[in-house]
Chain A
């Protein structure tokens, strides 16, 4: 369960359905039905979708909710504002980590620490 401020970006109906904000109603219905059919037979391509914050799992429930949101004109206008034009362009750069970053520290953790010190690893 993502926090609401993250979910607003990642669960934007346009991202869930893989559509651009300017799409027509027919495109919306077609894309939604196609995805539901693909999910029904558990096709790999439909199980994930790309968002500006990285890939997320797609479910039939999410697709139905996205379709319902975009069918309602007022909510669609608001969702359009939150949808990035180009998901790839909006994706954040991955900065280079410094030599002593937490990531490195995690990697260099002393995994046998508890056992070596006489404790059972919890």
Chain B
């Protein structure tokens, strides 16, 4: 009797859990991805609860009827099989991924369950991709097959992570980095935590293998719960960058992390790196001079250029240009700006000197050149401005820092002003081209979709969301790079151009393809940018769109 009541209570609980309305229907659209995820999640947990309670009930019932331990054993096996079918990840992770069984991992994961409740389609592809990267060699056929299955459902966190791992598997590291980094751009409610962890694990491994220890630290300290391996690598990175990390803590993290044998080399590397002492952190004599050479020249420039006693008027300034170009490779952006400003001021001085004009006049006569000295000087000035613009573009030196440096001086720099104008124009042209390319791509896809819909009304499945996701990421990266280099002035000019195209794209993927997660990622980014630029009208629109999607 008691067993029957217990079972009935459990069944009732499961039914209530499954059919109960969402917590707050007034604030949540029942058709939104978030609501659907919650619904799936609740159903899965109800099945799990039902399985366990059935097992308990049947066990009690069997005992009450005098059954022996074998009956309980059979029931336990049945329960484990049932749970494995409800949450196949346990089997996939423990057996199929290590064995590199791509197809089986994918097919079993398609049953859904933890941890892919928020993205069952992407989770299944991610399971397959994990099995693929465990194989000794890349298998293009399997990778294409998996990529094809990404279009079976809406694009979410696990799908993006899967696309990143597939790119890594085929050796396209740059694409893998971009995609795995973009997992963060999605609404956390649409991104399974396991996908976050996997993305961070890969990025940590990538950064550690490059020796980019500071990047490892950034990744490992995002505040999210990271894997044990990432915790070990983060601790090692802290040690490698000179932060204080105890030997005991490192060894403890190594013992707790899986694959101890493989991680032993990392532990050794970290332990070999002694904690920084005071003498090591002090700057060496030459380094200090190098540093001064960057910071001081703006003040000391006039004296240095005035002392120019070279035989040709530009010898010293060309020498300075050579030094600057070499130094730009290894300096921080602020220092790069100071170096370019110093060079521009030196060129201003040289170009305005009578010595240059006299020298050019003499040479024009000697070699019987067809141009006047003034023309040659103008050409030189134009070449110098072009070179400075090219150097600024090449090293992505922030223009705002340069402008600030110039304002500190009383005299303007015509050469640098020309270079800055040129770079600003180039940056805006870059944004225009990017927006145009995005618009054309969207138009092409829309046309294709229209054609396919005529043939097959369910042709929405042919929408390759990951390709468009890549395009959106590329556009975002171009804009952020342009904004960083061009500063607020360029950012204000560039945002409206891009905003229009991205807004259209977001509405299209949302309304035509029901890719609300994708659209939300774009709206969220646009909202942040609009807020940063103080564009309240735009910010209100994006806030509204995000709220509707919630």
Contact B367 A119 (CB under 8 A): no
Q: Which residue of A lies closest to B230 (CB)?
A: A117
Interface residue? A108 (CB, 8 A): yes
Q: Does A107 contact B (CB under 8 A)?
A: yes
**Stretch from B36-44, B183-191, B369-377, B540-548 forming part of the interface with A:** B369-377
B:403-426 near A, CB below 8 Å: none
Which A residues lie within 8 Å of B360 (CB)? 77
Residue in contact with B322 in the complex, picked from A76, A91, A112, A122, CB distance below 8 Å: A91
**Contact between chains at B319 and A89 (CB < 8 Å):** yes
* Per-residue A-contact encoding for B388-400, CB less than 8 Å = 1, 0 else: 1011001000000
Within the complex, the shortest CB–CB distance from A26 to chain B, in Å, comes to 14
Quick check: is A92 within 8 A (CB to CB) of the other chain? Answer: yes
In the complex, chain A residues whose CB is within 8 Å of the CB of B290: 95
Residues of B within 8 A of A78 (CB): 376, 379-380, 383
The reply on B259 being an interface residue by CB < 8 A is yes
Cβ contacts under 8 Å, B390 to chain A: 3-5
Bound together, the chains give a CA A122 to CA B273 distance in angstroms of 27
* B242 in contact (CB, < 8 A): yes
Q: A98-B287, A105-B213, A117-B229 are in contact. Are A110 and B391 (CB under 8 A)?
A: no
B169 near A110 (CB under 8 angstroms)?
no
Report if A114-B209 is in contact (Cβ < 8 Å); known contacts: A81-B318, A96-B287: yes
A-B contact count, CB below 8 Å? 164
* Beta-carbon contact of B325 and A6 below 8 Å: yes
Q: Does B210 contact A (CB under 8 A)?
A: yes
The interface residues of chain B lying within 8 Å CB-to-CB of A74 are 369-371, 376
Interface of B is mostly: helix
Report which of B168, B273, B312 forms a contact with A119, defined as CB distance below 8 A.
Answer: B168
Is residue A109 contacting chain B, with contact meaning CB distance below 8 A?
Answer: yes
Q: Which of B80-88, B129-137, B456-464 contacts A (4 or more CB under 8 A)?
A: B129-137
- Considering the chains assembled together, what is the distance between the CA atoms of A78 and B504 in angstroms? 51
A residues within 8 A CB of B133? Answer: 119-120
Those of A65-110 within 8 Å (CB) of chain B: 73-74, 76-78, 80-85, 89-93, 95-96, 98-100, 102, 104-110
B319→A120 contact, CB < 8 A: no
Q: Are B209 and A109 in contact (CB-based, < 8 A)?
A: yes
Task: Give the docked Cα–Cα distance between A108 and B241 (Å).
Answer: 11
Could you tell me if A110 and B208 are in contact, using CB atoms closer than 8 angstroms?
Answer: yes
Bound: A85/B174 CA distance, A: 42
Contacts of A77 in B (CB 8 A): 360, 363-364, 367, 369, 376
Please, which residue of chain B has its CB at the minimum distance from the CB of A81?
A: B314
- Cα–Cα distance between A85 and B318 once the two chains are bound (Å): 10
Q: Is A57 an interface residue (CB 8 A)?
A: no
| B211, A116: Cβ atoms closer than 8 Å | no
**Nearest CB in chain A: distance from B31 CB, A:** 38
Residue B116 CB within 8 A of the other chain: no
Could you tell me if B322 and A84 are in contact, using CB atoms closer than 8 angstroms? yes
A80 touches B376 (CB 8 A): no
A78 to B376, CA, bound (A): 7
Task: Please determine whether A5 and B391 come into contact, CB atoms closer than 8 angstroms.
Answer: yes
Give the chain A neighbours of B206 by CB distance below 8 A.
Answer: 113-114
Which residue of chain B lies nearest to A82 when distances are taken between CB atoms in the complex?
A: B318
**Quick check: A84 and B319 within 8 Å, CB to CB?**
yes
Q: Is the CB of B209 within 8 A of A21?
A: no
When A and B form their complex, which 4 residue pairs have the shortest distance between CB atoms, in order from nearest? Answer: A109-B211, A116-B262, A92-B326, A113-B209
Write 13 A-B pairs (CB below 8 A) sorted by A numbering: A5-B391, A8-B387, A74-B371, A81-B312, A81-B318, A85-B312, A105-B212, A110-B208, A113-B205, A113-B208, A115-B262, A122-B169, A122-B172
**Beyond A6-B325, A98-B284, A105-B212, 17 extra complex contacts between A and B, CB < 8 Å:** A3-B394, A5-B325, A9-B318, A77-B369, A77-B376, A78-B379, A78-B380, A85-B311, A92-B323, A95-B290, A96-B284, A96-B286, A99-B242, A114-B205, A115-B262, A120-B169, A122-B176
